[in-house]
Amino acid sequence: MRIARFSPRPLALLALLLAGLAPLSLRAAESAPNISAASLKARTATLASDEFEGRGPGTPGEEKTVSYLVSELKKLGLSPGNPDGTYIQNVPMVGITSKTKSTFTGRGREVAFAPITEYTANSRRLKPQVDVTDSDIVFVGYGIVAPEYGWDDYKGLDVRGKTVLMLVNDPPVVDAATGKLDPAVFKGHAMTYYGRWTYKYEIASAKGAAACIIVHETGPAGYPFAVLRRRRGLGHPHRPRAPPRRRWRAQLRRPQGPGREA
């Protein structure tokens, strides 16, 4: 798997993610900002408009979004909370676009799949190239270890250095008495964290697997494969881990004055 790595660039992230602020606790009615359902709807409509191009990190739409939110915060009379006197906090990020080539060999045959049309792949390791070669594939069911449900798909398996193959979502456990999904096991029809990609990647990594393959099915996933193809074309914004150091958290401070609480 080849990864096109972009140079880290600071992205302006607001401590406040919503343009509509929760009502401030005010003692004087004349100092209250004009917050209403209509104003919240108007700000949401603005941010959702085509002008902001989806608000994706590292895009012109992100810069427009940040400028708009800072402008709205100023209109509400809020003071910046960063030590440098700004509303935003710079966070280093990289954009990862995977360029992959994958082949599978079994029973003397080699099979190749077309990227994007037949599968999508990515890695968040900050390396120019990631290779997984001569890796045995081990099917691990749903790839879940859930002690509270007495469930362990990895029981008795050594997957270190191997590629684990698993199904998407949670296991559909049927209640024999009702013939329906048992709400006491993986919460029935609801998807738990065990069913999400992030968990499946995390547990595969914890077990020492070299790679993880998740089989997509429209029903269990809740969306068609076409959604993954579109997302694959956008790349993957990622905040790299930094060495331990003191960090400042951006906060918003309300201006002090008559009728305002600290």
DSSP string of 7-31, one letter each residue: PPEEEEEES---SSPPPP-BS-GGG
The pLDDT > 70 percentage for the chain reads: 75
What is the C-alpha R_g of the chain? Answer: 24
pTM as predicted? 0.61
The average confidence (pLDDT) of the chain is 79
The pLDDT, as a whole number, for residue 33 is: 63
Residue ranges of domains in the chain: 2-96, 123-234
Report how far residue 39's alpha carbon sits from residue 58's, in angstroms, rounded to the nearest whole number.
28
Query: How would you classify residue 55: left for phi > 0, otherwise alpha for psi between -120 and 50, otherwise beta?
Result: left
The pLDDT, as a whole number, for residue 122 is: 82
- In this predicted structure, the answer to whether residue 248 has a pLDDT above a threshold of 90 is no
- 10 Å CB burial of residue 65 (0-12, 13-18, 19+) is buried
- How large is the average pLDDT for residues 188-202? 94
Which residue from 166, 136, 169 is spatially nearest to 154, judged by alpha carbons? Answer: 166
The pLDDT > 90 percentage for the chain reads: 50
pLDDT tens, residue by residue, 229-240: 876 654 554 455
